[in-house]
Every structure is written in C-alpha cells, then in structure tokens.
Amino acid sequence: MTTNVATETVSLEDLDVLDKPDGPVAAAIIAGGIGAFALGFFTILAEVSASFKTLATLNEGVGGLSGKAVFTVIAWLVAWAALHLALRAKSFDVGKATLIALVLIAVGVVTTIPPIFTMFAPTE
C-alpha cells in the first residue's frame, strides 16, 4: 500500500505573526502587576485611614477584605483597559513588561504581609 502525502512549507511571514504588535500582550502583563500592587496599596491604606477601612467593609461577614478585593479588581480592569488603549497598536518589549509586572507583584505581595502593613498603623 502506497500513500502520497503532499507537504507545504509555511514560513512565519506567511502566518502574518511578525506584523502583530506586542502592546496588547504587554498591557495585560503589566495590568496584572498593577492589580497585585493595588491590593497591597489598599491594604496599607486601610491601616492608615479609618475612613477607608470603613468604606472597604462592603460585607460585615468578610470585613475590610471585601472592599479591598473589589477595589483591586476595579483597579486591575481600569489599568488593563487604559494600557490596552495606549499600547494596542504599538510594539512593546514583553520581557520588559514582565519585569515591570514582577516588581509590582513583589511589592504587592510584600505589602500584604501583616508585619509590613501594620507598620503603617497609626500609633496610639
């Protein structure tokens, strides 16, 4: 039994991959970092400001975390939309975007650790 298989070589240029900007990808990556940073920011803000802590309590059972989580998602979505609009037709180094996001994520994670964010609590 003989089978004939036709093969065709396809280059990256034929796929039109090289003409697509990396801006939307970079925008999504950086927005993720901004979201993580925002959670740390809102965590510290709740320690510093009693009025924000009250505002952030959207659900009594959950406490202040309910508002911090909602505000963080809003900040992430706004950042993603704004960055997408700004970078949608541009090229942006994805490695640089990843580095920016990793720094923002690191700061966001560190500022949600209790010994860190409680340093910002007002002294009585």
Q: Provide the percentage of residues in the chain whose pLDDT is more than 70.
A: 86
Q: Please write the tens of the pLDDT for every residue from 54-104.
A: 999 999 999 999 999 999 999 999 999 999 999 999 999 999 999 999 999
Cβ burial 66-91 (10 Å sphere, 16+ → b, else e): ebbbebbeebbeebbeebbeebeeee
The CA angle 78-81-85, to the nearest 5 degrees, is 140
Can you say whether the dihedral through the CA atoms of 79, 82, 84, 90 is positive or negative?
negative
3-state class of 3 per DSSP? coil
Nearest to 40 by CA among 108, 102, 106: 108
* Per-domain residue ranges of the chain: 32-118
In which band, very low, low, confident or very high, does the pLDDT at 18 lie, cut at 50, 70 and 90?
low
Distance separating alpha carbons of residues 52 and 45, to the nearest angstrom: 7
